[in-house]
Every structure is written in C-alpha cells, then in structure tokens.
C-alpha cells in the first residue's frame, strides 16, 4: 500500500491542488461545479448514494480529523463519561508531541470525559484527544493507537492509519475521503455528538455561559462569510502541513448529505467551505430520492433440486431500495444486474441471502443489494412435495412453460 509522500515544499502542494481541480471528477452524475479541493466525496445519507466523488480513495494526512477516531473510542469505552474526570496539568500538555492549545485555559481544572469529548468535536481537539486516550486506556498510548487502527478496520476504513490519538503531520497518519465518511457517519450516531451540535456550543462542567465553546467550523458560524444555514455539524482541520480538511452534513427538505474534502485550499474564494456549499446546493437543486426496487417485486429466481424434482424459487430484496438520482431521470440509463448462482442447495431459510442485484445508472454502479428468499424452502418432505406439485401444475395447465433455470449469473433487466 503506497501512501502519499510528505512534500517538502508548500509550492509543490499548491501545484498539486491546482492540477487536481482540473481533473474530471469520477462522479455518478454530471455537474458543472468547479471544486478546488483535491479529494472529495458527497453522499446522500438517506439512500447511501455517492452522488459526487473526486479521488475519494487517495490517501492524505488526516490532520485534526484523526481525533474523531479517538472521540469514537472514548464514547464507546468510557462507561459513565459524566462521572469520569481528568485534571488538566501543565506537565501533561508540555509532554505532548504536539499541542494545539485546546486545554490551555483549563490548566488546574477538572474536566469530565463528556467535557473532553465535546471540546474534541468543537475545537481542533488534539490535546483533548490525548486526555481522552488516557481516560480510555491509561498510560498505554501504543495500546490505544492499536485500538484506533483495529476500530478503523472494523468500520471498513482500509486506507486509514494512525500513530497518535491527536494531530500528527507524519505520513504514517493518513486517511481518505471515503474512510473519513465512514468514520464521520459512525461518530454522528453518538449521544454527545447529537447534544453538542444541537446547540452548536457547549459549556464545560463548572463554567458559565460566557465560557461556552462554539465550533471552529466557519459554515456553522452565522457571522462568517462561509456560513451555510443548512449545515448540521462539521469538523474542520487546517495546518500549513496538511492543508484544509473538512467533514460535515447538511439537511434541506428532509434530504441529508455528508461531504468530506481533503487537501483543500484556505483562500478567500477557493476553499473547502466554498466547495462544500456549492456541491451540496447543486445536489439539492438537481437530485431527488427515488424507489428503484420494490421489496414486493420478484427480482430473480434460483433453481433448486429436491427428491421430487427441480423447480425455481423466487428471490426478493429484503427492503425496498431507494437511491438518489437526477431530477431529469432517464429510465433508459437505469439497469439492474442480478448475480445469482445456477443452483442453490436446500434447505433455504426465510431471509437467507442467495444472490445480489447491482443497481446502475448511466453504466455506473450506485448500489448493490442482497437477494433473499421470502419463505422457508426444503425443510421437509411434505413442503418439498407441495412446492414441486405446484410447479408441476403450472407446467401442465399454464400457457407459460416452466424453465429449470430462469436466473443465471449476470442476467440484466431494465428498470
């Protein structure tokens, strides 16, 4: 696995961003948005549809976004975060390999794990992430880093690596847009995350309203020129080494999008905030959710053999499938390709996966869903005989002959 190398010259980084912004994005749907951020992914969370992507699997420094994994582990491992406390000592901060100042104003004070988690989300959060690592796994920092990497694999983040709980400008701490999207979506499920971004502020234990901490992400700041009122939550990272990284969600007309941008600019007009706003606005104006597969509709068949003979068993999707498609949806560009074995072994249990269906639009895959049986099949002699008798009856008295195999691997059907 080859990581992007750390570049020695800032000019070289700027050149890469400029060239990247000219590359044609690998996206499901065409658009005329000009984005300066090098790596981007935009996902409709309601339908789990990637509607736009540009180099989503390229590796880059995770910057302060790495603290999201520390936050997640702390939220999962610390049983009672309101009663678990950490006294902030100057020696603790001074011994950190890198400090962002997120704990400086609390030196000599005691914070709860909930306080630290909230500060990690709202600020750059590197120092607070180290404190959370200590509360989660004691002084065994290497053990905590292993937990981070193990959890990343569990989430499917195969192109992510950690060497510290907080910020690092080493090329050994890296991620991708797709992996960050997986992590951010999981982080959004936690209780403290929901509480913090409901108000977009947090008052640490023992402090008053004048000490409330607000998000450093400009898209959440109503006084910022980059403010976007449909933004739900955001995590921003910027250093001269790692450039601008951003993860956020927006909601408009009950549609929620998750945006991740890595290696972005931080200029007045060309920046990751502007790209997030332009792309999500494009999505809201030009895309909509549609039901592409109905769970009540038979999608394919699989052939089975019993002691009474051979017959076909219908296959369905477990749930109806909804995907985000262009408003000017062209049915001719939509297709479903089924992947079903030539024959399945009995017995088959209700809900058992037998195959899959690949949903594509304009020759690009937008989803892959499981195909399952909707009833138990082949559990006994009587049920086998009844099923085979029904097939034989259809064969004798219906106008349509019964085929031994009606669903073969790679069959395509138009939507």
Number of domains the chain contains = 2
| pLDDT bracket for residue 413 (50, 70, 90) | very low
Contact of 391 with 377, CB cutoff 8 Å: no
Asked if pLDDT for residue 6 goes beyond 50, the answer is no
Q: Are residues 275 and 322 in the same domain?
A: no
Question: Within a 13 Å sphere around the CA of 403, how many CA atoms are in the beta-carbon half?
Answer: 10
pLDDT for the residue 228: 97
Q: Are residues 208 and 115 in the same domain?
A: yes
| pLDDT bracket for residue 404 (50, 70, 90) | very low
Domain end position, chosen among 264, 287, 310: 287
pLDDT for the residue 367: 87
Give the percent of the chain with pLDDT over 90.
76
| pLDDT bracket for residue 28 (50, 70, 90) | low
Q: Which residue has the higher pLDDT, 141 or 267?
A: 141
Cα angle: 240, vertex 258, 325; to 5 degrees: 130
pLDDT for the residue 26: 37
Q: Would strands 334-339 and 300-306 be described as parallel, antiparallel, or unpaired?
A: unpaired
pLDDT for the residue 1: 35
Evaluate whether residue 3 is within a structural domain.
Answer: no
Q: Decide: helix, strand or coil at residue 300.
A: strand
Asked if pLDDT for residue 349 goes beyond 90, the answer is yes
Asked if pLDDT for residue 83 goes beyond 90, the answer is yes
Q: What is the CATH number of the domain that holds 331?
A: 2.60.410.10
Contact of 131 with 103, CB cutoff 8 Å: yes
Residues making up the chain, counted from first to last: 415
**Tens digit of pLDDT for each residue in 87-127?**
999 999 999 999 999 999 999 999 999 999 999 999 999 99
Indicate the average pLDDT of the chain: 87
Q: Which residue has the higher pLDDT, 396 or 344?
A: 344
Evaluate whether residue 395 is within a structural domain.
Answer: yes
Average of per-residue pLDDT across 286-312: 92
What Å distances lie between residue 380 and 306, 348, 389, CA to CA?
A: 10, 11, 14
Contact of 152 with 145, CB cutoff 8 Å: no
pLDDT for the residue 4: 37
Q: Are residues 355 and 407 in the same domain?
A: yes
What Å distances lie between residue 409 and 204, 303, 305, 377, 403, CA to CA?
A: 58, 12, 18, 21, 15
Q: Are residues 266 and 303 in the same domain?
A: no
Evaluate whether residue 26 is within a structural domain.
Answer: no
Least confident of 229-243, 264-278, 338-352, 374-388: 374-388
Average of per-residue pLDDT across 218-243: 95
Give helix then strand counts, H and E, for the chain: 10, 19
Evaluate whether residue 325 is within a structural domain.
Answer: yes
Contact of 171 with 104, CB cutoff 8 Å: no
Q: What is the CATH number of the domain that holds 181?
A: 3.40.710.10
Evaluate whether residue 210 is within a structural domain.
Answer: yes
Alpha helices for 228-367 (secondary structure H): 272-286
Q: Are residues 262 and 369 in the same domain?
A: no
Average of per-residue pLDDT across 383-388: 54
Does the pTM surpass 0.85? The reply is no
What Å distances lie between residue 355 and 49, 326, 350, CA to CA?
A: 21, 28, 14
Q: Are residues 69 and 182 in the same domain?
A: yes
Q: Are residues 275 and 326 in the same domain?
A: no
Q: What is the DSSP annotation of 207-260?
A: --GGG-EE---GGG-TTSTT--TTEEEEEEEEETTTEEEEEEEEEETTEEEEEE
Q: Are residues 184 and 303 in the same domain?
A: no
pLDDT for the residue 9: 33
**Tens digit of pLDDT for each residue in 176-190?**
999 999 999 999 999
| pLDDT bracket for residue 30 (50, 70, 90) | confident
| pLDDT bracket for residue 397 (50, 70, 90) | very low
- DSSP letter assigned to residue 355: E
Contact of 66 with 164, CB cutoff 8 Å: yes
Structural domain boundaries, residue 185: 10-20+34-287
| pLDDT bracket for residue 380 (50, 70, 90) | low
Evaluate whether residue 310 is within a structural domain.
Answer: yes
């Amino acid at each position: 696995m080859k990581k992007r190398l750390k570049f020695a010259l800032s000019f070289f980084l700027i050149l890469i961003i400029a060239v990247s912004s000219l590359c044609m994005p690998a996206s499901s749907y065409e658009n005329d948005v000009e984005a300066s951020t090098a790596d981007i992914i935009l996902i409709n969370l309601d339908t789990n549809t990637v509607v736009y992507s540009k180099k989503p699997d390229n590796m880059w420094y995770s910057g302060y976004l790495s603290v999201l994994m520390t936050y997640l582990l702390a939220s999962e491992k610390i049983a009672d975060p309101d009663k678990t406390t950490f006294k902030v000592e100057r020696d603790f901060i001074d011994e950190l390999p890198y400090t962002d100042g997120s704990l400086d104003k609390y030196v000599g004070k005691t914070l709860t794990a909930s306080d630290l988690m909230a500060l990690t989300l709202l600020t750059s959060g590197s120092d607070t992430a180290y404190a959370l690592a200590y509360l989660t796994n004691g002084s065994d920092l290497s053990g905590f880093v292993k937990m981070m990497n193990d959890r990343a694999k569990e989430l499917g983040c195969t192109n992510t690596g950690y060497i510290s709980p907080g910020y690092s400008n080493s090329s050994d701490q890296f991620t991708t847009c797709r992996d960050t999207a997986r992590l951010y979506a999981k982080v959004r499920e936690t209780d403290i995350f929901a509480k913090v971004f409901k108000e977009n502020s947090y008052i640490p234990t023992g402090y008053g309203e004048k000490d409330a901490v607000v998000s450093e992400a400009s898209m959440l700041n109503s006084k910022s020129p980059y403010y976007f009122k449909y933004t739900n939550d955001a995590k921003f990272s910027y250093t001269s080494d790692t450039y601008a990284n951003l993860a956020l969600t927006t909601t408009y007309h009950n549609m929620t999008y998750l945006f991740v941008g890595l290696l972005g600019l931080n200029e007045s007009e060309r920046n990751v905030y502007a790209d997030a706003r332009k792309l999500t606005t494009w999505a809201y104006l030009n895309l909509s959710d549609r039901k592409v597969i109905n769970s009540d509709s038979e999608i394919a068949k699989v052939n089975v053999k019993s002691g009474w003979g051979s017959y076909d068993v219908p296959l369905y999707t477990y749930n109806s499938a909804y995907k985000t498609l262009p408003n000017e949806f062209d049915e001719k560009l939509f297709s479903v390709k089924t992947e079903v074995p030539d024959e399945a072994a009995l017995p088959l249990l209700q809900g058992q996966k037998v195959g899959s269906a690949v949903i594509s639009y304009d020759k690009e895959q937008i989803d892959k869903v499981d195909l399952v049986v909707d009833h138990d099949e082949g559990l006994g002699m009587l049920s086998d005989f009844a099923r085979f008798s029904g097939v034989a009856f259809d064969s004798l008295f219906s106008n349509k002959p019964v085929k031994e195999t009606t669903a073969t691997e790679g069959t395509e059907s138009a939507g």
